A and B are shown apart, each in its own frame.
Chain A
Amino acid sequence: MEATTTKSQNLIIRLLQFKREMRECVQNGADSEEMKRIASKYGFTLTTPV
């Protein structure tokens, strides 16, 4: 058996894994390109709806 890729996993799991990677990215200085890469890896888009 093997786990599915990140993009096909349950939304909650993807959100959780995204948050963990993003936390580390931000703690280390929050590079914008890295943020975009992490979001894309999990199939997410960062937006500014406010």
Chain B
Amino acid sequence: MALHSPLPYEVLKKDELNYEFVNRDGIKYHLFFMPVFDLYPDLVNTYSFSIEREGTNPHPLDRRIAATVVDVLRRFFQNVENAMIMVCDSTDGKQHKRRNLFDRWFHYYNDGTLTSINAELGEGDYELLLSIYFKKDNPYKQQLIRAFGDLLSQDFYEIVI
């Protein structure tokens, strides 16, 4: 884990829907967690995680954003049974950029207690990058690995004739 890490921003819980913080440039970020285990029970205690910002204006690099996200996720993984899925969207062609950014955060801040599985589906213009993260001592680890694999092997679409 990195020494002398930047200080996280203060994170507020908003309406029991998401978490928010505002960075030094006045840009508000929203962090979302959605349980997927109620829809896909084999993914025990697994949540989908997303981070989105308000507005679209570019802004300078801000390392405190990563520190803030990591701080929230560190608290999330204090429950050893929690797991997290990330889906990187390819609509704007930035899916690799998103994956690489999160991978950098993960490798920089991981204290060795977390593990991840990365997967790629499709190719070219239609490509999805998915990852699952969980604690190495998660008691449901094997079930999560199997369930993640099963999820990847499903068809993208169900077509009804």
Interface residues of chain A, those whose CB is within 8 Å of chain B, are 1-4, 8-13, 15-16, 18-20, 22-23, 26-27, 29-30, 32, 35-36, 39, 43-50
Q: Which residues of chain B in 36-61 are interfacial with respect to chain A, using CB atoms and an 8 Å cutoff?
A: 36, 38-40, 47-48, 50, 52-56
- Which chain A residues border B79 with CB–CB below 8 Å? 49
Task: Give Cα A46–Cα B22 distance, bound, in whole angstroms.
Answer: 20
Chain A, residue nearest B130 (CB): A12
Interface residues of chain B, those whose CB is within 8 Å of chain A, are 13-19, 28, 30, 32-36, 38-40, 47-48, 50, 52-56, 72, 75-76, 79, 82, 85, 87, 89, 91, 121, 128, 130, 151-152, 154-161
Q: Are A11 and B39 in contact, with the CB atoms below 8 A?
A: yes
Question: Which residue of B15, B53, B156 contacts A13 across the interface (Cβ within 8 Å)?
Answer: B156
Task: Give Cα A30–Cα B14 distance, bound, in whole angstroms.
Answer: 11
Q: Are B76 and A49 in contact, with the CB atoms below 8 A?
A: yes
- Which chain A residues border B121 with CB–CB below 8 Å? 12
- Which chain A residues border B17 with CB–CB below 8 Å? 32, 35-36, 46, 48
Task: Give Cα A46–Cα B80 distance, bound, in whole angstroms.
Answer: 21
- Which chain A residues border B13 with CB–CB below 8 Å? 48
